[in-house]
C-alpha cells in the first residue's frame, strides 16, 4: 500500500471516529506495521499544521484525533450555538488532581488529603466521565477505587498521565504577585469597609433592641404572674370573710325568728281560753230555754193524768 493511499485511509478513520484512535487500532485497520503507521500519522500532523487549514490532527489521550483549528472556534460556536463548556470548580479540580496523582485511590484517602467530605464532588466527576471506578481495594469493607478516564486526558489536552506536571515543576512556577491597589481602589475599598461596618452595627443594634424588648416583655409577664399569685390567697380570704358574714346574718335572722315565735304562741294561747269561755256561756244561755220547755212538758203531762194525781 502506498503512503498516499494509507494517509487517505487514516484521515477518513480519524474524521469519522470522533474519538482519539490509538496506533494499534490504526495499524490493524490499514494492515501496516506499527513503525510505518506512526510515521504516516506524524506526516499527516505536519501536513495539516503547515497548510494552516481549519482542521488539525493532534495527539491526545494516548491516541490521535482530528479536531477543528482553535483559530476558527468563534465561528464554529456560532454554527453550533453552544455555550462555553462548564468549568470545573475549585473543589472538583482539587479532587481530580488527587485522583490523577494517587490513582487508584479510595474516597476515604481523598477525604483524608483534602480534609473535607468529597461525596458530591466524586459524584459530579463520575457524571462528567472524568473519573471511573476501577475496582475495589482488598481491605475491610472493600471500598471502591477511582481512576481517571480518557475524557480526563481530552479535557486537559494530555497525551497520557506521564505529561502531568511534577512537583518540581510546580515549585518552579512563579505565581503572580497581587498588584498593589490604586489610590482610587483603596478609597473605594475603605468606603466599602465603612459601609459594611455600619451595616454590621445597625444589625447589632437591632438585635440589642429586640433582645431588650424580649427581656422587658418577659419581666412584665413575670410581674403579672406574681400579681396573680399574690391575689389568689386574698381572694380566698375575701371569700371566706363573705361566707362568714353571710353565715352570721343567717344566724341572726334565725335567732330573731326564734325569739319572736314564743310571743306569738303565747298571744294565740291567751286568746283561745277567752274564746272557749264565751262559747260555753253561749251554750249555757241556749240551754236555759230548753229547761223551761221541759218544765212545761212535765206540767202538761201531769194535767193529763188527774187520776194518778188523786
The bridge status of strand 144-148 relative to strand 55-60 is unpaired
Tens digit of each residue's pLDDT (9 = 90 or more) over 162-213 = 888 887 777 776 655 555 544 444 444 555 555 665 666 666 666 666 666 6
**Would the pLDDT of 233 be above 60?**
no
pLDDT(74) > 80: yes
Q: Which of the 8 DSSP states describes residue 149?
A: -
pLDDT, tens only, 13-61 = 999 988 899 999 999 999 899 999 999 999 999 999 998 889 999 999 8
Would you kindly state where each structural domain of the chain is located, as residue ranges?
Answer: 3-80, 90-166
The CATH code of the domain at 3-80 is 1.10.10.10
Q: CA quadruple 122, 127, 132, 133: dihedral positive or negative?
A: positive
Asked: is 90-166 a CATH 1.10.10.10 domain? The reply is yes
The DSSP string of 85-109 is PPPPPHHHHHHHHHHHHH-SEEHHH
In the predicted structure, residue 264 carries a pLDDT above the cut 50: no
- The pLDDT assigned to 81 comes to 73
For residue 43, the surrounding DSSP H or E stretch is helix 34-51
pLDDT for 66 equals: 92
d(CA 148, CA 116): 20
At residue 143, the pLDDT reads: 94
Domain pair 3-80 / 90-166, same fold: yes
Neighbours of 9 (CB within 10 A): 16
Q: Nine-digit cell at 202?
A: 445597625
Most confident of 66-80, 173-187, 232-246: 66-80
Q: Which residues make beta-bridge pairs with 34?
A: none
Amino acid at each position: 500500500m502506498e503512503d498516499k493511499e494509507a494517509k487517505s485511509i487514516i484521515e477518513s478513520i480519524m474524521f469519522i471516529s470522533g474519538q482519539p484512535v490509538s496506533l494499534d487500532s490504526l495499524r490493524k485497520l490499514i494492515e501496516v506495521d506499527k513503525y510505518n503507521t506512526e510515521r504516516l500519522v506524524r506526516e499527516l500532523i505536519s501536513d495539516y499544521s503547515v497548510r494552516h487549514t481549519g482542521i488539525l490532527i493532534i495527539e491526545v489521550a494516548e491516541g490521535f484525533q482530528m479536531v477543528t483549528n482553535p483559530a476558527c472556534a468563534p465561528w464554529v460556536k456560532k454554527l453550533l450555538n453552544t455555550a462555553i463548556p462548564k468549568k470545573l470548580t475549585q473543589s472538583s479540580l482539587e479532587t481530580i488532581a488527587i485522583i490523577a496523582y494517587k490513582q487508584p485511590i479510595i474516597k476515604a484517602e481523598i477525604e483524608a488529603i483534602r480534609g473535607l467530605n468529597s461525596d458530591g464532588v466524586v459524584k459530579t466527576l463520575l457524571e462528567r466521565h472524568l473519573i471511573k471506578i476501577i475496582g475495589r481495594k482488598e481491605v475491610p469493607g472493600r471500598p471502591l477505587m477511582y481512576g481517571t478516564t480518557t475524557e480526563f486526558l481530552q479535557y486537559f489536552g494530555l497525551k497520557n498521565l506521564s505529561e502531568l506536571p511534577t512537583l518540581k515543576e510546580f515549585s518552579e512556577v512563579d505565581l503572580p504577585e497581587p498588584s498593589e491597589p490604586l489610590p482610587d481602589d483603596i478609597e473605594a475599598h475603605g468606603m466599602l469597609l465603612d459601609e459594611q461596618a455600619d451595616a454590621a452595627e445597625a444589625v447589632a443594634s437591632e438585635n440589642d433592641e429586640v433582645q431588650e424588648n424580649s427581656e422587658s416583655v418577659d419581666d412584665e409577664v413575670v410581674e403579672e404572674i406574681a400579681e396573680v399569685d399574690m391575689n389568689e390567697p386574698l381572694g380566698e380570704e375575701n371569700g371566706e370573710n363573705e361566707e362568714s358574714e353571710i353565715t352570721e346574718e343567717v344566724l341572726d335572722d334565725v335567732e330573731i325568728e326564734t325569739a319572736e315565735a314564743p310571743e306569738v304562741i303565747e298571744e294565740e294561747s291567751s286568746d283561745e281560753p277567752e274564746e272557749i269561755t264565751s262559747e260555753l256561756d253561749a251554750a249555757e244561755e241556749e240551754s236555759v230555754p230548753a229547761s223551761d220547755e221541759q218544765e212545761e212538758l212535765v206540767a202538761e203531762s201531769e194535767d193529763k193524768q188527774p187520776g194518778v194525781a188523786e
